[in-house]
Structures are given as C-alpha cells and as structure tokens.
Structure 1
Amino acid sequence: METIFDHSTREGLISRINTLNENSKAQWGKMNICQMLKHCTLYEEMMLGKVTFKRAFLGRLFGKMALKEFIQDQNPIKQNVPTLTELKVKEKAGNVLEEKKKWIALLKGYEQVSQPVIVHSFFGELTKEQTGFLVYKHTDHHLRQFKS
C-alpha cells in the first residue's frame, strides 16, 4: 500500500500538486482550489502534530471502525466523504501558488517524522504506518477531486 513515508510516492504527489493552478476546477464537492489547498495544509498540520483539535464525539464511537475501512486497501477515498468541521475552510480567496508551497513543504516534513503516534481528531491515535497510508489517501483524494 502506498504511504507518504515513501520518497518516490511523496515526490509523485508533489508533482501532481505542481500541476494545479488557479483555473483548476473540482470534479465533485463544494471546495474551490484555494479552499482545497488550505484544507489540505490544515490537515497536514494536524497529522504532523503542529495543530491539535478536540477529539470528535462520533470519532470516539466509530473512529477505529472507520479508520479500518479507510486504510484497508488501495482503493481511493470515496467522493463527497464529509469533512471534519475543524478542517472546513470558509474563505474562498487566496494565493494558489503560496498555498501549494505551504502544502508541499508540509508533505516534505514527513521525511523527518519520528513520533510513533499521531492523534487524528476523528480516528484517534494512529501508528506511523496508519498515518502514512491515511495521508497518502487523503492527498490522492483531493488531487483526484481537482483532476490532478
């Protein structure tokens, strides 16, 4: 299974990010390109432990079960999966180039990840392996959303 901790996989995702521009349109969902880039940056900050959010009540009940479904195989995340409230971006405008740079820098930060467990606001504690799979799938999901 692909993981963000694999250098060539990470570089492939970064290449795909670099194809995005201000004219990129979503194939599904409600986010525009700037919102998606900001959403993904915020997601990476959470996954890298740079920001933390209170654990969602429903996540405490169903998080582990949902995590198994998300990372059980290489299939892409389904379209229109609900976004966690704390990761929703309301502001629609922004600098696409700057947001891409921020996202790429955060993805490159996975090269130095040494902490064994990351805390996701819905799924809870994740091992490094689970984090690698989930980050890859989340990134791939949004790149597919914008046909990249």
Structure 2
Amino acid sequence: MKNIFLPAVTSEVIERINKLTPSSPQLWGKMNVSQMLAHCNVSYELVYDGKHPKPNIFMKLVMKAFVKNIVVSEKPYKRNSQTAPSFVITDEKQFAIEKQRLIDYLNKTLELGEKHFDGKESHSFGKLTKTEWNNMFYKHLDHHLSQFGA
C-alpha cells in the first residue's frame, strides 16, 4: 500500500483530487462528488476536530473486534459496502469547500508525519501503528477517488 506520509504520495493523491469537478460522475455508490469529499473529510475530522462524539466503551470494543481490521488492513474495500453512521453524507455539500478541506487535511497529516501517528489513539479503534493509520487514510481515499474515476 502506498504511504500517505510520503510527500510524493500525498502530491499524487492531491493531483487525483484536483482532477475531480463538481459534475464528476460516480462509477458506483449513492454519493455525488461533493458528498464523497465531505465523506472523506470525516476521517480527518475524527483526528483533528473533535466534531464527532466518541463511541462508548461497549461500541469501541465492538468496533475493535469487528470493524478495525477491515479499516486498517491492506485489503481494499468492497464497492457499496456499509458505511458507519457518522460517515453517511446525505445533504448537499459545496464542492470547492470540501475539496479544499480535504487537501488541507492531507497537507496537515503530511506535515505532522508518521511519527506523530505511530501509537496515536484513534477515535474508535484504540492505539494504531503508523502503518495502520496509513492504511486507513490511504485506502479510504484511494477507494473513493477510484469511485469517481480519479
């Protein structure tokens, strides 16, 4: 899996984001491109913004047991797989705003670097290694950029 903490990989992902337009059609799924960008921003909101309530102890155990490996492994996501409630975006979003937010989050993540993330507590899964953080960030972005042909 590519390493999102490397400048060349972050640049490549940003180039893919920049290929999107407000009218980019999805190849699968229900979200439009603006909703997809907002959806991808949730991963970073969980890390940086504290906008989303943390799961209770029971839900955190369930997520660690049943969801964590799907999210942090190198195995690609399946198309049209189930989405966690906090990641469901149904309202209309502004393309330019969501696009810039995502690029800003990517640059912040690159600036902080993998050392910052190694052993860092995640919102839902407990402490993750730098590899698990990378897999979670990169795999999710790759999945959704591919969804829109970027």
- Fold conserved between structures, TM > 0.5: yes
Structure 1 segment 65-84 matched on structure 2, within 5 A: 66-73=67-74, 75-84=75-84
Counterparts of 2:63 and 2:45, CA distance in 1: 23
Q: Aligned pair in 2 of structure 1 residues 99, 69: CA closer, same or farther (>3 Å)?
A: closer
Aligned to 1:55: 55
- How high is the TM-score relative to the length of structure 1? 0.83
CA contact (8 A) 2:73 2:132 kept: no
Q: Following TM superposition, by how much is the alpha carbon of 1:18 offset from its aligned partner in structure 2, in angstroms?
A: 0.2
Alignment partner of 1:108 is 2:111: no
Aligned to 1:29: 29
Counterparts of 1:129 and 1:72, CA distance in 2: 9
Of the three residues 120, 123, 128, the one matched with 1:120 is: 123
Counterparts of 2:7 and 2:65, CA distance in 1: 27
AA at the equivalent of 1:68? N
Counterparts of 1:42 and 1:72, CA distance in 2: 19
Unaligned runs of 5+ in 2: none
Aligned positions, number? 144
- How high is the TM-score relative to the length of structure 2? 0.82
Q: Aligned pair in 2 of structure 1 residues 99, 132: CA closer, same or farther (>3 Å)?
A: same
Counterparts of 2:31 and 2:66, CA distance in 1: 27
- Looking at secondary structure, tell me which structure has more helix per residue: 2
Counterparts of 1:69 and 1:40, CA distance in 2: 16
Q: Following TM superposition, by how much is the alpha carbon of 1:43 offset from its aligned partner in structure 2, in angstroms?
A: 1.8
C-alpha RMSD over aligned residues: 2.1
Q: Aligned pair in 2 of structure 1 residues 82, 41: CA closer, same or farther (>3 Å)?
A: same
Q: Following TM superposition, by how much is the alpha carbon of 1:76 offset from its aligned partner in structure 2, in angstroms?
A: 2.7
AA at the equivalent of 1:90? T
Unaligned runs of 5+ in 1: none
Q: Aligned pair in 2 of structure 1 residues 40, 79: CA closer, same or farther (>3 Å)?
A: same
**Identity over aligned pairs, percent:** 32
